[in-house]
Amino acid sequence: EQQEEDVLRELRLFLRNVTERLSLDRRFKAFTKPVDIEEVPDYMLVIRKPMDFSTLLTNIDEQKYVTVGEFMSDAELIWQNALEYNPDSDPMDRHIRHRACALKDTVRAIIRDELDEDFERVCEEVKESR
């Protein structure tokens, strides 16, 4: 009913705000768009489920996420994929792993500081009722 639509609209506003703030952070530039196959041809062979901020925003607008937990499952792919694709000791791999770890800690801190537990509980109840 209407109250449910109000809750999901507020969720989308929160998730868009978080994702847009991450997209503006220069440390996370490598994560803003899907990896370019021309530049990194073997990426799709190694990474089964690519994810990036622009895809998160599209998913939000397509109302894919009913809870913050569902959003986090996709958001976590961004740093998990980067750690998987860049395992070596060479400086470039270490650099992107450092940024992936910074992204993980940044997202977790934002959710801890800015998501009201009661709000997420209401979203979970909407999800269970569907």
Q: Tell me which residues touch ligand 5U9 (CB under 6 A).
A: 30-31, 35, 40, 82, 85-86, 92-93, 96
Cβ proximity to ligand 5U9, 18 vs 51, nearer residue: 51
Please state the closest distance from residue 80 (CB atom) to ligand 5U9, in A: 10
Tell me which residue has tokens 């978080």: 18
Distance, CA of 9 to CA of 60 (rounded, Å): 10
Cβ proximity to ligand 5U9, 66 vs 77, nearer residue: 77
Tell me which residue has tokens 């998990």: 80
**Cβ distance 67 to 9 under 8 Å?**
no
Please state the closest distance from residue 30 (CB atom) to ligand 5U9, in A: 5
Cβ proximity to ligand 5U9, 34 vs 69, nearer residue: 34
Please state the closest distance from residue 8 (CB atom) to ligand 5U9, in A: 30
Counting Cα atoms < 13 Å in the Cβ hemisphere of 78 gives 30
Residues 6+ apart with CB under 8 A from 99: 27, 28, 30, 31, 82
Distance, CA of 44 to CA of 54 (rounded, Å): 17
Cβ proximity to ligand 5U9, 96 vs 110, nearer residue: 96
